[in-house]
Amino acid sequence: MAFLANVLLSKQHLDISIGSVLLLLLLSRCSFSFGVESDINCLKSIKASLEDTLGYLNSSWDFNNNTEGFICNFLGIECWHLHESKVLNIKLSDLGLKGQFPRGVENCTSLTGLDLSSNQLSGPLPHDIDKILSFVTSLDLSYNRFSGLIPPQLSNCSYMNVLKLDNNQLSGNIPAEVNQLTRLKSFSVANNPGLCGYPLKPCPSISQKKSVSLARVFKSNGVIMLAEAGFGIGFVFSFSFFVLR
Protein backbone atom coordinates (compact mmCIF):
# COMPACT_ATOMS: atom_id res chain seq x y z
CA MET A 1 0.00 0.00 0.00
CA ALA A 2 2.98 2.31 0.67
CA PHE A 3 4.29 2.10 -2.88
CA LEU A 4 0.84 2.94 -4.24
CA ALA A 5 0.74 6.00 -1.98
CA ASN A 6 4.05 7.10 -3.49
CA VAL A 7 2.65 6.68 -7.00
CA LEU A 8 -0.34 8.80 -6.16
CA LEU A 9 1.64 11.56 -4.52
CA SER A 10 4.34 12.06 -7.15
CA LYS A 11 4.42 13.08 -10.82
CA GLN A 12 1.70 14.02 -13.27
CA HIS A 13 -2.01 13.33 -13.66
CA LEU A 14 -1.43 10.31 -15.89
CA ASP A 15 0.54 8.57 -13.20
CA ILE A 16 -2.04 9.57 -10.63
CA SER A 17 -4.91 8.18 -12.68
CA ILE A 18 -3.04 4.93 -13.34
CA GLY A 19 -2.25 4.77 -9.66
CA SER A 20 -5.87 5.26 -8.64
CA VAL A 21 -7.06 2.65 -11.12
CA LEU A 22 -4.50 0.21 -9.74
CA LEU A 23 -5.55 1.10 -6.23
CA LEU A 24 -9.22 0.54 -7.05
CA LEU A 25 -8.39 -2.78 -8.67
CA LEU A 26 -6.29 -3.86 -5.71
CA LEU A 27 -8.99 -2.86 -3.23
CA SER A 28 -11.62 -4.72 -5.20
CA ARG A 29 -9.53 -7.85 -5.01
CA CYS A 30 -8.84 -7.42 -1.33
CA SER A 31 -10.47 -10.50 0.10
CA PHE A 32 -10.78 -9.02 3.59
CA SER A 33 -14.35 -7.77 3.77
CA PHE A 34 -15.53 -10.22 1.08
CA GLY A 35 -14.32 -13.17 3.11
CA VAL A 36 -16.15 -12.05 6.23
CA GLU A 37 -19.64 -11.79 4.67
CA SER A 38 -19.50 -15.02 2.72
CA ASP A 39 -18.00 -17.03 5.56
CA ILE A 40 -20.80 -16.02 7.92
CA ASN A 41 -23.34 -16.99 5.27
CA CYS A 42 -21.46 -20.25 4.76
CA LEU A 43 -21.92 -21.24 8.39
CA LYS A 44 -25.53 -20.06 8.47
CA SER A 45 -26.23 -22.26 5.48
CA ILE A 46 -24.50 -25.28 7.01
CA LYS A 47 -26.49 -24.92 10.20
CA ALA A 48 -29.73 -24.59 8.25
CA SER A 49 -29.13 -27.61 6.04
CA LEU A 50 -28.03 -30.07 8.72
CA GLU A 51 -30.22 -31.77 11.29
CA ASP A 52 -28.57 -31.06 14.62
CA THR A 53 -29.93 -34.00 16.60
CA LEU A 54 -27.80 -33.42 19.68
CA GLY A 55 -28.14 -29.64 19.66
CA TYR A 56 -24.43 -28.83 19.57
CA LEU A 57 -24.67 -26.36 16.70
CA ASN A 58 -27.80 -24.84 18.11
CA SER A 59 -26.11 -23.93 21.36
CA SER A 60 -22.73 -22.86 20.05
CA TRP A 61 -23.44 -21.28 16.66
CA ASP A 62 -25.12 -18.05 17.73
CA PHE A 63 -25.33 -15.53 14.90
CA ASN A 64 -26.76 -12.75 17.01
CA ASN A 65 -23.46 -11.62 18.53
CA ASN A 66 -22.03 -9.76 15.58
CA THR A 67 -18.58 -8.64 16.74
CA GLU A 68 -15.62 -9.03 14.39
CA GLY A 69 -14.46 -12.61 14.17
CA PHE A 70 -17.31 -13.95 16.33
CA ILE A 71 -17.64 -17.11 14.27
CA CYS A 72 -14.07 -18.00 15.23
CA ASN A 73 -15.33 -19.08 18.63
CA PHE A 74 -17.98 -21.41 17.22
CA LEU A 75 -17.68 -25.12 18.00
CA GLY A 76 -15.63 -26.79 15.32
CA ILE A 77 -14.56 -23.60 13.58
CA GLU A 78 -10.91 -22.60 13.18
CA CYS A 79 -10.17 -19.23 11.63
CA TRP A 80 -7.12 -17.98 9.78
CA HIS A 81 -6.69 -15.17 12.30
CA LEU A 82 -8.34 -14.02 15.48
CA HIS A 83 -10.86 -11.20 15.09
CA GLU A 84 -11.45 -11.91 11.39
CA SER A 85 -14.27 -14.15 10.23
CA LYS A 86 -12.27 -16.11 7.68
CA VAL A 87 -12.74 -19.85 8.17
CA LEU A 88 -9.67 -22.08 7.87
CA ASN A 89 -11.02 -25.44 9.06
CA ILE A 90 -14.41 -26.90 9.88
CA LYS A 91 -14.31 -29.89 12.22
CA LEU A 92 -17.74 -31.26 13.08
CA SER A 93 -16.88 -34.87 13.82
CA ASP A 94 -19.14 -37.06 15.94
CA LEU A 95 -21.87 -34.50 16.61
CA GLY A 96 -24.93 -36.53 15.69
CA LEU A 97 -25.47 -34.58 12.48
CA LYS A 98 -27.93 -35.78 9.87
CA GLY A 99 -28.80 -34.64 6.40
CA GLN A 100 -27.05 -34.33 3.09
CA PHE A 101 -23.66 -32.90 2.19
CA PRO A 102 -23.89 -29.18 3.13
CA ARG A 103 -23.38 -27.37 -0.17
CA GLY A 104 -23.25 -24.05 1.69
CA VAL A 105 -19.61 -24.87 2.46
CA GLU A 106 -18.96 -23.36 -0.96
CA ASN A 107 -19.19 -19.88 0.58
CA CYS A 108 -16.30 -20.56 2.95
CA THR A 109 -13.92 -19.52 0.19
CA SER A 110 -10.77 -19.80 2.33
CA LEU A 111 -11.53 -23.26 3.68
CA THR A 112 -8.64 -25.74 3.71
CA GLY A 113 -9.98 -28.51 5.94
CA LEU A 114 -13.39 -30.17 6.27
CA ASP A 115 -14.07 -32.96 8.76
CA LEU A 116 -17.63 -34.26 8.91
CA SER A 117 -16.64 -37.78 9.98
CA SER A 118 -18.62 -40.02 12.33
CA ASN A 119 -22.04 -38.53 11.78
CA GLN A 120 -25.16 -39.81 10.03
CA LEU A 121 -24.90 -37.79 6.86
CA SER A 122 -26.39 -39.42 3.78
CA GLY A 123 -27.12 -38.92 0.12
CA PRO A 124 -24.70 -38.36 -2.72
CA LEU A 125 -21.47 -36.40 -2.80
CA PRO A 126 -21.88 -33.27 -4.94
CA HIS A 127 -20.79 -33.90 -8.54
CA ASP A 128 -19.26 -30.39 -8.62
CA ILE A 129 -17.33 -30.97 -5.40
CA ASP A 130 -14.29 -29.22 -6.86
CA LYS A 131 -16.24 -25.95 -7.04
CA ILE A 132 -17.48 -26.32 -3.47
CA LEU A 133 -14.15 -27.32 -1.93
CA SER A 134 -11.72 -25.45 -4.18
CA PHE A 135 -8.75 -25.29 -1.82
CA VAL A 136 -9.39 -28.13 0.59
CA THR A 137 -6.24 -30.00 1.58
CA SER A 138 -7.92 -32.37 4.02
CA LEU A 139 -11.38 -33.90 3.51
CA ASP A 140 -12.71 -36.43 6.00
CA LEU A 141 -16.19 -37.78 5.31
CA SER A 142 -15.56 -41.19 6.85
CA TYR A 143 -18.07 -43.06 8.99
CA ASN A 144 -21.22 -41.60 7.50
CA ARG A 145 -23.88 -42.97 5.13
CA PHE A 146 -22.93 -41.22 1.92
CA SER A 147 -24.02 -43.15 -1.15
CA GLY A 148 -23.64 -43.02 -4.89
CA LEU A 149 -20.48 -42.47 -6.87
CA ILE A 150 -17.22 -40.82 -5.95
CA PRO A 151 -17.41 -37.67 -8.09
CA PRO A 152 -14.70 -37.72 -10.77
CA GLN A 153 -14.31 -33.98 -10.33
CA LEU A 154 -12.58 -34.69 -7.01
CA SER A 155 -9.53 -35.15 -9.22
CA ASN A 156 -9.51 -31.37 -9.77
CA CYS A 157 -8.87 -30.80 -6.09
CA SER A 158 -5.14 -30.71 -6.68
CA TYR A 159 -4.26 -29.43 -3.22
CA MET A 160 -5.77 -32.49 -1.52
CA ASN A 161 -3.33 -34.09 0.94
CA VAL A 162 -5.69 -36.29 2.95
CA LEU A 163 -8.88 -37.85 1.58
CA LYS A 164 -10.96 -40.09 3.82
CA LEU A 165 -14.10 -41.63 2.38
CA ASP A 166 -14.03 -44.95 4.20
CA ASN A 167 -16.98 -46.49 6.02
CA ASN A 168 -19.79 -45.13 3.88
CA GLN A 169 -22.13 -46.63 1.30
CA LEU A 170 -20.38 -45.35 -1.78
CA SER A 171 -20.53 -47.51 -4.89
CA GLY A 172 -19.28 -47.79 -8.41
CA ASN A 173 -15.84 -47.28 -9.87
CA ILE A 174 -13.26 -45.19 -8.02
CA PRO A 175 -12.19 -42.58 -10.60
CA ALA A 176 -8.60 -43.38 -11.58
CA GLU A 177 -7.55 -39.73 -11.59
CA VAL A 178 -8.28 -39.43 -7.88
CA ASN A 179 -5.42 -41.83 -7.18
CA GLN A 180 -3.13 -39.54 -9.15
CA LEU A 181 -3.54 -36.33 -7.14
CA THR A 182 0.06 -35.21 -6.73
CA ARG A 183 -0.21 -33.98 -3.15
CA LEU A 184 -2.28 -36.92 -1.90
CA LYS A 185 -0.57 -38.60 1.04
CA SER A 186 -3.46 -40.51 2.55
CA PHE A 187 -6.49 -41.96 0.75
CA SER A 188 -8.91 -44.31 2.48
CA VAL A 189 -11.97 -45.88 0.85
CA ALA A 190 -12.37 -49.14 2.77
CA ASN A 191 -15.76 -50.45 3.90
CA ASN A 192 -17.85 -49.08 1.07
CA PRO A 193 -19.62 -52.29 0.01
CA GLY A 194 -20.43 -51.35 -3.57
CA LEU A 195 -17.16 -49.56 -4.30
CA CYS A 196 -14.58 -51.06 -6.63
CA GLY A 197 -11.51 -50.16 -8.64
CA TYR A 198 -7.98 -49.31 -7.53
CA PRO A 199 -6.99 -49.41 -4.67
CA LEU A 200 -9.86 -51.85 -4.06
CA LYS A 201 -10.60 -54.98 -6.06
CA PRO A 202 -11.25 -54.30 -9.75
CA CYS A 203 -14.80 -53.61 -10.86
CA PRO A 204 -16.39 -56.43 -12.88
CA SER A 205 -15.42 -55.55 -16.48
CA ILE A 206 -17.84 -55.61 -19.53
CA SER A 207 -16.17 -58.70 -21.18
CA GLN A 208 -16.38 -60.52 -17.88
CA LYS A 209 -20.05 -59.60 -17.72
CA LYS A 210 -20.59 -60.97 -21.28
CA SER A 211 -18.93 -64.32 -20.56
CA VAL A 212 -21.00 -64.63 -17.40
CA SER A 213 -24.22 -64.06 -19.30
CA LEU A 214 -23.17 -66.36 -22.15
CA ALA A 215 -22.46 -69.11 -19.66
CA ARG A 216 -25.93 -68.53 -18.31
CA VAL A 217 -27.33 -68.76 -21.85
CA PHE A 218 -25.43 -71.98 -22.49
CA LYS A 219 -26.61 -73.34 -19.20
CA SER A 220 -30.22 -72.62 -19.95
CA ASN A 221 -29.79 -73.79 -23.56
CA GLY A 222 -28.20 -77.00 -22.35
CA VAL A 223 -31.20 -77.78 -20.20
CA ILE A 224 -33.47 -77.22 -23.19
CA MET A 225 -31.25 -79.36 -25.41
CA LEU A 226 -31.20 -82.15 -22.86
CA ALA A 227 -34.95 -81.94 -22.58
CA GLU A 228 -35.32 -82.05 -26.36
CA ALA A 229 -32.87 -84.94 -26.57
CA GLY A 230 -34.73 -86.79 -23.92
CA PHE A 231 -38.02 -86.22 -25.72
CA GLY A 232 -36.54 -87.34 -29.02
CA ILE A 233 -35.11 -90.54 -27.61
CA GLY A 234 -38.31 -91.28 -25.84
CA PHE A 235 -40.26 -90.69 -29.05
CA VAL A 236 -38.02 -92.94 -31.14
CA PHE A 237 -38.09 -95.64 -28.52
CA SER A 238 -41.80 -95.68 -28.10
CA PHE A 239 -42.30 -95.45 -31.88
CA SER A 240 -40.03 -98.38 -32.52
CA PHE A 241 -41.72 -100.25 -29.71
CA PHE A 242 -45.13 -99.78 -31.24
CA VAL A 243 -44.00 -100.41 -34.82
CA LEU A 244 -41.98 -103.49 -34.05
CA ARG A 245 -44.71 -104.94 -31.91
| Contact residues for other proteins, defined by CB under 8 A | 1-3, 22, 25-26, 29-31, 80-83, 88, 109-110, 112, 130-131, 133-135, 137, 155-161, 177, 180-183, 185
Bridge partners (DSSP) listed for residue 51? 98
Whole-angstrom distance, CA of residue 80 vs CA of residue 100: 27
By beta-carbon proximity to other proteins, the closer residue of 43 and 181 is: 181
Residue 146 CA: distances (Å) to CA of 92, 97, 181, 187: 16, 13, 22, 17
By beta-carbon proximity to other proteins, the closer residue of 52 and 130 is: 130
Residue 99 CA: distances (Å) to CA of 17, 39, 49, 122, 146: 53, 21, 7, 6, 10
By beta-carbon proximity to other proteins, the closer residue of 1 and 14 is: 1
Smallest separation (angstroms) from other proteins to the CB of 195: 20
**Alpha-carbon Rg of the chain, whole angstroms?**
31
By beta-carbon proximity to other proteins, the closer residue of 8 and 22 is: 22
Smallest separation (angstroms) from other proteins to the CB of 203: 21
Smallest separation (angstroms) from other proteins to the CB of 51: 29
CA dihedral sign of residues 111, 115, 121, 125: positive
Smallest separation (angstroms) from other proteins to the CB of 177: 6
Smallest separation (angstroms) from other proteins to the CB of 207: 27
CA dihedral sign of residues 167, 100, 102, 72: negative
Q: Which residues contact 195 (CB under 8 A, 6 or more apart)?
A: 150, 170, 171, 172, 174, 189
Smallest separation (angstroms) from other proteins to the CB of 120: 28
By beta-carbon proximity to other proteins, the closer residue of 57 and 163 is: 163
By beta-carbon proximity to other proteins, the closer residue of 68 and 228 is: 68
Q: Which residues contact 163 (CB under 8 A, 6 or more apart)?
A: 139, 154, 178, 181, 184, 186, 187, 188
